Structure 1
Amino acid sequence: MPQQKTMVSVPELMLEIAPDAAEALRASDLLPGEPAVLPVRATYFDTPDRDLATAGFTLSLTEGESEGETARVQTVRATGSTADLFVLPEWRQPVAADRPVLDERTPLCTLPPAKIAEIGPLFGLCLRRQLWTLSWQGADIELALDRGEVTAADRRSARCELRLALRDGAPAALYALARRLDEIAPLRLGVLTEADHGFRLLGPVLHMHKAAPVALHRDMVAAEGFRAIGAACLRQFRLNEPLVDPANPEAVHQARVALRRLRSAFAIFRPMLQDETGPRLNRETRWLAGVLGEARDLDVLRMRCRPEALRARLEPARMAAYDQARGMLESRRARLLMLDLAEYLAIGPWTMQPSGAEIRGLPLREYASAALDRLRRKVKKDGIGLADVDDETRHELRKDAKKLRYAAEFFAPLYAEKRRRRRAARFLAALEALQDRMGALNDLAAAPALVERLGLAGDPAAAAILGTDRDKRNLIEAAAEAHEAFVDAKRFWR
């Protein structure tokens, strides 16, 4: 008879911490007594084609000392649609050898034998783990402070992280403890697992992170879809946040995209989020996007400036905007916003409100189709008579088109049939063209106020930035044509 799978779902919270902040935390009175110290040595396995990672799993062997002898534990961890920022399903079992055992106790036993034969070590982890058990707000929480490095081939990456694991009690205590820890030492929401660190070493160095497809599947309900989409947006933002720099303008752009996508998710799922916390977090997310907005606006203006002298005149304001943005990103307000958002996605009031129970339980594909229909009707209606409306109305159309595009990108994985995939590609292409034309119109409309604020209104070289009436007419005509093409594009969800 097959042995039962040793699967556990542990509520966890990963937090990034700087080495000096870790020392301050270690010296505080919050951590009681001397910690248990555990050397951790782990090896991660996959095929050369990363088949396990593609399937949404990681596979590792961890070595430790037990009663004077070396013991190995094999861990299979879900990283795809079966995992989120809060609960991480795992399958653990002891093994005797230094090779994985993929039997019926793991979800990987269904892999083709040829793929199992290709599995080999990819990267290693070596760190010193200090462990405390804390009682916080009636909950028992294990706090692990990890310091060490990940190695892959000839590349290394230092690690200093906290992990809070709930052993008993209410999940809200995890976030309450994280906020208290942040009062002592600055912490940031962690989105990179041990495996993520290793895979990043194996790949090229990235200077920005675009939105990845969200791991949605047809068996999900609406509540699960919102959680998965929100977690993907938080992950994209946190990956780009440390890369924000004047020499790397795409990072600030992608960080803003992540926040806009998150706000769009709040709007798309608004019927399900009938609580007071959601609107507050949406406002705070809008504030954070605005913090990055000035730097992004000046990056765009700089790209449109042809004379080098004019670009040089923009640099002081651009540097100041980046300094302000980075200062705000390092603020406690921004750090706690990420924790608040993660908590809201996992256990927010919306998850327990009786009034939203029916919507939360709707099949995600059913909810997605209705939401896409609603957003499409609005963009179709608002684009009528594009040449005869004012700049503000066109700006609203641009925002609605962007929201529809994000929704279509979020939900596209739910419609994986070949015919629907082709339709989705054509629909998104038409929507992207409309959004680009509307964005160019918006840049033209916003240019005079921006040029005035920067003190460039009297500079002849700035005239090209402001454009002409003919430029505006041409852009409106192009936008109207793009809107017609969008209306003609077939819906992939019907």
Structure 2
Amino acid sequence: MTIEPIFPENMQMADEVELKLEIASEDAGKFEVSGLLAGAPKKMRQISTYFDTPDHDVANAGFSLRIRRSGKKRVQTIKADGGSAAGLFIRSEWERAAENDTPVLDFATPLPSLLGDKIDAIAPAFEVEIDRQSWTIDESGATIELVLDRGDVVVGERRSPVCEIELELKSGDPAALFAFARRIDAVVPIRLGVLSKSERGYRLTGAAPARVTAETVILAGDTTAAQALGQIMQSCIRQFRLNEALLLANRNTEALHQARVALRRLRSAFAIFKPMIGDAGIDLRTELRWLASELGKVRDLDVLLKRAEGGPLHDRIATMREAAYDNVCEILSSARARRLMLEVTAWIAASDWSGTADGEREGNRPARDFAARALDRYRRKVKRKGRNLASLDDDARHEVRKSAKKLRYAAEFFAGLFERKSEKRRHKRFVKALEALQDQLGALNDLAAAPELLTRLGIAESPGAAELMAHGKKGRLIETAADAHEDFVDTKRFW
């Protein structure tokens, strides 16, 4: 039996499908006169006050709470977090008219049940001041509401500018959102947006992050394989975009590293789910490999610079590193790189995840079953390829490392599907053993790659180059890696 929730007459619950795009404030005027927007826009000034407890219990529960003022009208909105949707926001919201600037928090919304007595501590947290213009767009038989927002997020004396386009599907095929986004990008540069305005506000309330690590992928027990792939890929896209922004703003080495991790996770997702998707999206995989390679060149110099600290080659490598950052920032600003995350998101939205197993769509199978098969597959690869690891050559050890990485990402992606206490304990031990193996194989790979890197940089024969190659460490690393592989083989599965 299904129990339907009951809402008062002035309370609406709905699902939104939105595509969020970031645009430079200096390009907004050019976009307005581009000819893509027919007719005069609707204009309004909006001031939204977001509410939370001092410990951010509302946000930690996965929601945002605001009262938006536009003229004399006030509307209260509670939204379930859509942050993991990576540009394509699909989420539930509860909306009602508000008489004043005090939230109404009754059991028509989920917050009282989630927060309990903490709900009494809810107070204003920050404001978002927006000048909004909106148009109705007809695109390939779909009706889209296009909104151009310009303004600021305000926390006390701190302000952060906002300039973004939101495309909300009112009717028709979601593919129309991406078709129109491509038309916008032909006029002004856009990037896929992954931060809601509430997230911008919360970020402004604390210290600015230097990097963003992978967020936990929330997979419920009834998740299908297709749904799991969509959520996993969206998580990877979000991690990349957040770190890309930090990298472009600050040239932070850890943001660069996490952007690379996000790309590796995304590429691994394509590989892990290959039994379901086959060769679909192969062009995207090629582009992701290209972008990962470009970021990898800079990361190599970051690692080399750290190893060269105090040595005769440090300053030369530092100069090369600065030039490499110039180049990678230029690449990330190119149309080719900017469009990539938009195209991956479009592919996720459009794919039907068809498979061949017994004539049934593989994507409809339980994600837990799919995960167990994928984890088994990569565990066997790591065990088989790593046999007699001490006697393998550099290329063979690198293949073990790549399989171990995919197994590690799969273990992280699917962790939420194995939530029994015994499974969680074994998961922790399994990942720890896998991390130890990866660390040793990574160190060996750095040593193996060092001569080629130094040759490519033209410093292989320079004073101090031999110390950077550190061949003397190789024997000890191989022994440690072989021991780590044996420990991994002896570690029980968690699935």
Structure 1 length as normaliser, TM-score?
A: 0.94
Distance 1:354 1:7, change over 3 A: farther
Q: Alpha-carbon deviation of 1:143?
A: 0.8
Distance 1:310 1:380, change over 3 A: same
Q: How does 1:79-228 map to 2 (within 5 A)?
A: 79=81, 85-228=88-231
The answer as to 2:52 corresponding to 1:50 is: no
The answer as to 2:360 corresponding to 1:390 is: no
Q: Alpha-carbon deviation of 1:320?
A: 2.3
Q: 5+ residue gaps in structure 1?
A: none
**What are the Cα deviations for residues 327-369 of structure 1, in whole angstroms up to 9, with x where unaligned?**
1111111111111111112222536999985321122222212
Contact map agreement 2:353 2:362 (CA 8 A) in 1: no
Name the stretch that deviates more: 300-309 or 135-144. 300-309
Contact map agreement 2:144 2:168 (CA 8 A) in 1: yes
Name the stretch that deviates more: 480-489 or 347-356. 347-356
Which of 470, 473, 479 is residue 471 of structure 1 equivalent to?
473
Contact map agreement 1:80 1:215 (CA 8 A) in 2: no
Q: Alpha-carbon deviation of 1:275?
A: 5.5
CA distance in 1, matches of 2:426, 2:330: 44
CA distance in 2, matches of 1:137, 1:352: 29
The answer as to 2:35 corresponding to 1:29 is: yes
Counterpart in the other structure of 1:323: 326
Counterpart in the other structure of 1:428: 431
Q: How does 1:307-318 map to 2 (within 5 A)?
A: 307-318=310-321
CA distance in 2, matches of 1:355, 1:333: 39
Which of 24, 33, 40 is residue 46 of structure 2 equivalent to?
40
In the alignment, residue 413 of structure 2 is paired with which amino acid?
A: F
CA distance in 2, matches of 1:304, 1:82: 36
CA distance in 2, matches of 1:247, 1:267: 30
Q: Alpha-carbon deviation of 1:113?
A: 3.6
**What are the Cα deviations for residues 94-122 of structure 1, in whole angstroms up to 9, with x where unaligned?**
12232222234323342354122222221
Counterpart in the other structure of 2:298: 295
Contact map agreement 1:82 1:89 (CA 8 A) in 2: no
Counterpart in the other structure of 1:262: 266
**Alignment partner of 2:40: what SS?**
coil
Contact map agreement 2:84 2:231 (CA 8 A) in 1: no
Contact map agreement 1:81 1:215 (CA 8 A) in 2: no
Distance 1:459 1:81, change over 3 A: closer
CA distance in 1, matches of 2:54, 2:69: 23
Q: Alpha-carbon deviation of 1:93?
A: 1.6
Distance 1:187 1:351, change over 3 A: farther
Aligned residue pairs total 487
In the alignment, residue 461 of structure 2 is paired with which amino acid?
A: G
Counterpart in the other structure of 1:250: 254
CA distance in 2, matches of 1:366, 1:103: 40
**Alignment partner of 1:350: what SS?**
coil
CA distance in 1, matches of 2:156, 2:447: 50
CA distance in 2, matches of 1:57, 1:417: 26
CA distance in 2, matches of 1:80, 1:194: 11
Counterpart in the other structure of 1:484: 486
**Alignment partner of 2:283: what SS?**
helix
**Alignment partner of 2:160: what SS?**
strand
Counterpart in the other structure of 1:241: 244
Contact map agreement 1:56 1:81 (CA 8 A) in 2: no
In the alignment, residue 257 of structure 1 is paired with which amino acid?
A: V
CA distance in 2, matches of 1:30, 1:362: 42
**What are the Cα deviations for residues 389-425 of structure 1, in whole angstroms up to 9, with x where unaligned?**
1111110110111111111111112223333222222
Q: How does 1:397-436 map to 2 (within 5 A)?
A: 397-436=400-439
Counterpart in the other structure of 2:66: 60
Distance 1:164 1:354, change over 3 A: farther
Structure 1 residue ranges (4+ consecutive) displaced by more than 6 angstroms after TM superposition: 351-356
In the alignment, residue 382 of structure 2 is paired with which amino acid?
A: V
Distance 1:462 1:83, change over 3 A: closer
Which of 450, 459, 462 is residue 459 of structure 1 equivalent to?
462
Q: 5+ residue gaps in structure 2?
A: none
In the alignment, residue 480 of structure 1 is paired with which amino acid?
A: A
Structure 2 length as normaliser, TM-score?
A: 0.94
CA distance in 2, matches of 1:298, 1:279: 29
What is the CA RMSD across the aligned residues, in angstroms? Answer: 2.1
CA distance in 2, matches of 1:489, 1:16: 45
Contact map agreement 1:55 1:80 (CA 8 A) in 2: no
Counterpart in the other structure of 2:77: 75
Name the stretch that deviates more: 166-175 or 344-353. 344-353
The answer as to 2:12 corresponding to 1:6 is: yes
**Alignment partner of 2:111: what SS?**
coil
**Alignment partner of 2:439: what SS?**
helix
In the alignment, residue 429 of structure 2 is paired with which amino acid?
A: R
CA distance in 2, matches of 1:313, 1:355: 60
Q: Alpha-carbon deviation of 1:86?
A: 3.8
Counterpart in the other structure of 1:370: 373
Distance 1:352 1:394, change over 3 A: closer
The answer as to 2:23 corresponding to 1:17 is: yes
Taking only the aligned residue pairs, the percentage that are identical comes to 51
Counterpart in the other structure of 1:337: 340
Q: Alpha-carbon deviation of 1:153?
A: 2.9
**Alignment partner of 2:70: what SS?**
strand
Distance 1:153 1:292, change over 3 A: same
